Amino acid sequence: MIQIFPATDIIGGKVVRLTKGDYNEVKIYADSPAEMALEFMKSGATNLHMVDLDGAKHGSPVNFDCIREAAQIKGLFIEVGGGIRDMKRIEDYLNLGVKRVILGTAAIKNYPFVEEAVKEFSDAVAVGVDAKNGLVAVNGWQETTSVDSVEFCRKLRDTGVKTVIYTDISKDGMLSGTNLEIYKELSAIEGLDIVASGGITFIDEIKTLKEMNIYGAILGKAIYEGKLNLKEAIDAAGGTK
């Protein structure tokens, strides 16, 4: 089974999607992340991936209140990322009922923070590795580093990180398919759960990722644009957990 995570990216309290992470290419899909989450549940979703895009850009949680509203929904495993740069923010989200927090830019800019967070919160901490041409990108995808993304995933595993959300930025929001080659490479890293993100558009991709023993898949623009049916995707993944 592969876990399916429908995505709600948030700007100004609204559910949006970006194209290739471009903040100038924003499309609004819903006024309320919580209402969107309830719609996903009607299709059988038990997981939800939430990103505070304002937070990712500015370095501090901006859309905390609407994430709180979603976190109060029973029966959802919610993971949240975007602007989580200190231990208090992790605690704040976990106290809301969020099950897992995702560290992004902080993992590159302040690696000791990752080590401290994993030591304190264990599996409740994941790291989002966003890659552009194989290199890690930070600050809401606005800045590309010189860090090799696959090697960084191995480093995270060695630090004790259990889950990595890996996004190929070039594929994100393009509705043209995901980068299956990179996930095949990442699946060989023992002891690390990989969540595939970025451009997943076709049922066959979910089946292939499942065969690779990839832990999870994030579905975004494809379900919002009607290119991929969420219920069919969950069924192809092996149902709910």
Annotated catalytic sites, by residue? 9, 130
Other beta carbons within 10 angstroms of residue 239's beta carbon come to 11
Q: Which helix (H) or strand (E) holds 216?
A: strand 216-219
Distances (CA, A) of 9 to 28, 68, 80, 165, 205: 10, 14, 10, 15, 22
Distances (CA, A) of 120 to 29, 45, 64, 114: 36, 29, 22, 10
Assess contact for 89 and 61: CB atoms under 8 A: yes
Structure tokens at 67: 């994430």
Q: How many residues does the chain have?
A: 241
Q: Is 135 helix (H, G, I), strand (E, B) or coil?
A: strand
Assess contact for 131 and 145: CB atoms under 8 A: no
Residues 6+ positions from 95 with CB-CB distance below 8 Å: none
